[in-house]
């Protein structure tokens, strides 16, 4: 079963927020394709979360796409997805990143599942 983006999250542009780099992804597989689900438990009260999931560091794969899904607590919270894409600050394009923003802070109990699709260059 493949995860897909939760479409009810609202994208926001123009927010001036400081991203917090948080949570290392699980060890990626050494091949192209979906790398496997990584689980992240959001800290209560967190406002800004940037999560990065890497493709294998060996070989010739690049991050092609990413998916995420929040549990019901996350789905019912006021949260904005402000970025989902390759890390533009890394020329190798081996990392997919997401940025979430909770204006009033994240409520207790949010879990997010992440996965990244790595493709051959």
Number of domains forming the structure of the chain: 1
| Residue at 26 is within a domain | yes
**Which pLDDT score, from 0 to 100, does residue 52 have?**
97
Residues of the chain with pLDDT under 70: 1-30
| Residue at 47 is within a domain | yes
Per the structure, the complete domain to which residue 61 belongs is given by 10-120
| Residue at 63 is within a domain | yes
Hey, what are 103's tokens? 């204006």
**Which pLDDT score, from 0 to 100, does residue 30 have?**
60
In 3D space, the residue among 94, 118, 99 whose CA is nearest the CA of residue 51 turns out to be: 99
């Amino acid at each position: 079963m493949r995860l897909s983006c939760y479409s009810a999250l609202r994208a926001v542009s123009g927010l001036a927020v400081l991203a917090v780099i948080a949570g290392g992804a699980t060890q990626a597989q050494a091949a192209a394709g979906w790398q496997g689900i990584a689980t992240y438990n959001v800290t209560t009260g967190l406002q800004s979360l940037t999560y990065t999931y890497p493709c294998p560091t060996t070989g010739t794969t690049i991050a092609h796409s990413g998916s995420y899904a929040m549990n019901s607590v996350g789905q019912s919270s006021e949260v904005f997805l402000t970025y989902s894409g390759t890390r533009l600050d890394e020329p190798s394009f081996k990392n997919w990143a997401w940025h979430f923003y909770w204006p009033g802070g994240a409520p207790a109990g949010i879990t997010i599942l992440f996965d990244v699709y790595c493709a051959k260059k």
